[in-house]
A and B are shown apart, each in its own frame.
Chain A
Amino acid sequence: MNRHVLFFVWRYLAYNKVKSLVLWFSLTMIFALPMCLGHLTRLFEHSVRARAIDTPLVLGVKGSEYDLTLHALYFQADIQDTFPVQEWHALMAKNRGASVPVALGFTAFSRPIVGTTLEYFEARSMQIQEGSTFVQLGQCVLGSEVAESLGLDPGMSLMSDASNVFNLAGDYPLKMKVSGIFKPTGTPDDHAIFVDLKTHWIMEGLGHGHESLSSSDDQADKILQTKDGVVTASASVLPYLEINQENQQTFHFHSAMHELPVTALLIWPSSVKSETLLMGEFNHSSNRLQIIRPLEVVESMMAWVIRIKQFMDLNYLLIGFTVFGMAAMIFFLSVRLRSDEFETFHYLGCRRTFVSRLVIFEWGALMFVAACFAVVITLFADRWMRWMLSTV
């Protein structure tokens, strides 16, 4: 008997397509919006918190804690203030735990280039999928998403983006050779390009390589040449745009190595005591550096997110009441409009429960399909959010 009820339900919904679609869409949205928001907020919180939990302390120049967290953990905010790498050496000498320097500021195909050391990969438990980590200047290792979206394999090259095309005396794009690709991690590391700190300094223009001017007596005369009335600069004064086996010996830095800049230090203290000591050493007014706990920063950010979510929940609740009110009105009007049809069923001898089953199945079918679509929308939103979170 129920299959016949379903037949009537199906024929009614199919005949009244527009009404059915409007109801289905409204119900789908009412189910999907809070479902998506709740799921995405939990996912966001989990993902952001996980990254912060994995990085107990971050050292950087005093300023916005949010910017420093976003910069060091998610490669997002741009930080202009740097500090010398000797701070890292000093910290290592104190033996208060493991630490890894990070220098950011350049991109390649809009993906962040992260200058760091091999210890970063160990600390983040990153595993190579193809090739190897960088072993010489000019090499880079790609996050999985970068390799996939740019179609790059080990042995291929990519150029860093020009930071200022009008500044001839500034930094030049560097052609980097891909030495390896990391396995996917579901974190911002998938969307980053990793190079050695020294390679990053070369990108900044703090180190360079060129032909030796002392190798030939007449090289100096070639700094400027005049040919057919046109003055040209000699190639010997332009830096190499690629580091390879032949020219890597010519690369050098004109300042002391310990003065070269980094933007942040990621610190894994060896004990609570070490952590407390570190906080005490750096967090006083006379120090231009600060140490932050990313988890605290993230939690304070999440408090805002949760507050916004609560507001949105209230909003959806009100919209939900309105839509359900309208749906109820449509329901009662529909039942009233169909009273003739139901009376016919009664005259033809249908069971007493037939009409109520008809109405319940009809709305049940609409709600079931709406709930299924809401789940599908949430799954798509989940995939989108995971992708977004790995880029944030």
Chain B
Amino acid sequence: MDILIENLLFRWAYSKFELSVPQLHLESGVSAAIVGPSGSGKTTFLKLLTGIEQADKGDVQLGETLLAKLNGNQRRALRQRSIGYVFQDFKLIEYLNVEENILTPWRLSETSGHSRVHMKARVSSLMDRLGLVSLKHRYPGKLSQGERQRTAIARALLLKPGLVIADEPTGNLDPDNTILVRDLLLSEITQQGATLIVVTHDRSLIEGFDRVIDFADFQSKTPVKAKAI
């Protein structure tokens, strides 16, 4: 999924924080790492990209769709249909087991059009690739950090989204698992042909990404262009 951002401006209410992205273009199938210090607006950027928050000014275009022209329901439907989200703290549902957690996007999606049988097969395939088959009946509370992360990745990939966003996906992992998760994300996304945006403050993670975007440049009163490393 092609991503085009122009003259994006966002301010949190009652805060001096301002995020300004004059221009950013990510081609379909690209993997990009967004780096920057805490508070530089990385997570806010992801929320703007997914339509959870709306920009005060500027355009965010996902594929052919301009987010500014969509209402709340349409943005929600787009998020459901085209975006996979891997959260910093995984956000797995504690009362669902691994298999049920992975199936959650399908259960929430009324327009996916996928049959239960098809989804079961897709879950089996994802669990097989991510080494979760033996854990399918286990609840999140009984999983290790790495196992939870893999479950969250499988959930994000379930509906084959065109864009996968990962917010600090390795924030809670040790160095070995960090590399494992990065490689896993990159290989799965490459296999699926989706665009991947990973937000991290860990610069050791950026190796292997097609592009790296430093967000320190975006948080300023004077907008600057995205700096590619």
Contact = CB atoms under 8 A, between A and B. Distances in A.
Main DSSP-derived SS at the A contact region: helix
B32 to A, nearest CB: 20
Contacts of B87: 344, 347
Given A4-B108, A349-B108, A344 B76 contact: no
A1 interface: yes
A352 B72 contact: yes
A11 B96 contact: yes
Contact of A347 (B85, B96, B109): B85
Nearest to A349: B80
A321 interface: no
A344 B83 CA distance: 14
A346 B73 CA distance: 11
A4 B107 contact: yes
B121 interface: no
Given A11-B95, A15-B94, A341-B93, A348 B104 contact: yes
Interface string B44-57: 00000010100000
B93 A344 contact: yes
B105 interface: yes
B79 interface: yes
A267 to B, nearest CB: 70
Nearest to B107: A4
Contacts of B72: 352
A346 B85 CA distance: 11
Nearest to A347: B85
Given A344-B87, A348-B104, A349-B109, A15 B79 contact: no
Contacts, number: 56
A389 B73 CA distance: 62
A4 B109 CA distance: 10
A316 interface: no
30 contacts: A7-B107, A11-B95, A11-B96, A11-B100, A12-B95, A14-B95, A15-B94, A15-B95, A15-B139, A16-B95, A341-B94, A343-B91, A344-B87, A344-B91, A344-B93, A346-B52, A347-B85, A347-B91, A348-B79, A348-B80, A348-B85, A348-B105, A349-B76, A349-B80, A349-B83, A350-B76, A350-B80, A351-B73, A352-B76, A354-B108
Interface in B86-124: 87, 91, 93-96, 100, 104-105, 107-110
Given A348-B79, A349-B105, 20 more contacts: A1-B110, A4-B107, A4-B108, A8-B107, A12-B95, A14-B95, A15-B139, A340-B91, A341-B94, A343-B91, A346-B52, A347-B50, A347-B79, A348-B80, A348-B108, A349-B79, A349-B108, A350-B80, A351-B73, A352-B72
A4 B76 CA distance: 18
Nearest to B78: A349
A272 to B, nearest CB: 72
A331 interface: no
Nearest to B82: A349
B152 to A, nearest CB: 10
Contacts of B24: none
A380 interface: no
A304 interface: no
Nearest to B139: A15
Interface size range of chain B in the complex: 20 to 34
A345 interface: yes
A183 to B, nearest CB: 56
A344 B81 CA distance: 15
A351 B76 contact: yes
Nearest to B106: A4
A125 to B, nearest CB: 61
Contacts of A350: 76, 80, 108
A8 B107 CA distance: 9
A346 B104 CA distance: 12
A151 to B, nearest CB: 54
Contact of B52 (A14, A347, A351, A352): A347
Given A11-B100, A12-B95, A340-B91, A345 B108 contact: yes
Contacts of A8: 107
A349 B105 CA distance: 8
B77 interface: yes
Nearest to B46: A347
A14 to B, nearest CB: 8
Contacts of B79: 347-349
A241 B199 CA distance: 102
Nearest to A343: B91
Nearest to A1: B110
B76 to A, nearest CB: 5
A350 B108 CA distance: 5
Interface in A316-360: 340-341, 343-352, 354
Most buried by B among A7, A11, A349, A350: A349
Contacts of B91: 340-341, 343-344, 347
A350 B72 CA distance: 11
Interface string B34-67: 0000000000000000101000000000000000
Contacts of B80: 348-350
Most B CB atoms within 10 A — which of A4, A345, A347?
A347
